[in-house]
Amino acid sequence: MSDPIVLIPARLAATRLPNKPLAEIAGEPMIVQVWRRAVEAGIGPVAVATDAPEIAEAVARAGGQAVMTRTDHASGSDRIFEAVEKLDPDGRHDVIVNVQGDLPTIDPAAIAASIVPLSDPAVDIATLVAVIVREEEKTNPNVVKMVGSPLSAGHFRALYFTRATAPYGEGPLYHHIGLYAYRRKALQRFVGLKPSPLETREKLEQLRALEAGMRIDAVLVEDVPLGVDTPHDLERAREIIAARTIGTRRTS
């Protein structure tokens, strides 16, 4: 692990919240808020990978970098692979961190934590989890669970991801956070794989990697960042960032 790059895939085609990346939060488009959190992580250069000129222009106005990608990508992983090949054709960046473009409240420290497991050369992909504390989330299929074997405090080897309530029995359940740090060779291999049977059944892309024998490790973080998918989520994100801004002003 020598030279990470952070890439944020973003597109305008959202059904529940049209033009989602450009939605205003604290005076800036949401995609710019996500870009700022990634820059604050301080682990490497940050770029937005998009197929929409409007998104690229918004990022550029804020002083950020955007790279245009094809419109026909099936997933964010495919989009960031095209982007890193364009940005870094010589392969200098050996770790690619994929931060979803709808996580404006994510803690920059969580982004930085995602690359830690890659210090072990046996790990192909790293990701994040948080303890599920609300009872209703334990049985909610929209809350993806990580089933993993503890390696050390706050560090797991992921064995499975599921929408079911798992594992069975006493003990904590872990909410998977869809942020990934890939070794570049692992990302290249991953996007070249066909969708796998369990991926198709559970509708979870990360199962493709596990079914192909790739190793995914997970780092425990304090809380789950708010993913913005609906107008209600957007209002919550605005409130959270407004409260943080006020808190920063009071302590400065």
pLDDT tens readout for residues 116-167: 999 999 999 999 999 999 999 999 999 999 999 999 999 999 999 999 999 9
Residue 17 to residue 19: CA distance in whole angstroms:
6
Q: Which helix (H) or strand (E) holds 61?
A: helix 53-61
Q: What is the pLDDT of residues 192-250, one digit of tens each?
A: 999 999 999 999 999 999 999 999 999 999 989 999 989 999 999 999 999 987 766 66
Model confidence at 17, in pLDDT bands (50, 70, 90)? confident
Residue entry with tokens 């991953």 = 190
Average pLDDT (64-74) is: 93
Model confidence at 181, in pLDDT bands (50, 70, 90)? very high
Residue 207 to residue 196: CA distance in whole angstroms:
7
Average pLDDT over the chain reads: 94
- Global pTM value: 0.94
Average pLDDT (166-184) is: 97
Q: For the chain, how far is it from start to end, CA to CA, in angstroms? A: 35
CB 139 within 8 A of CB 231: no
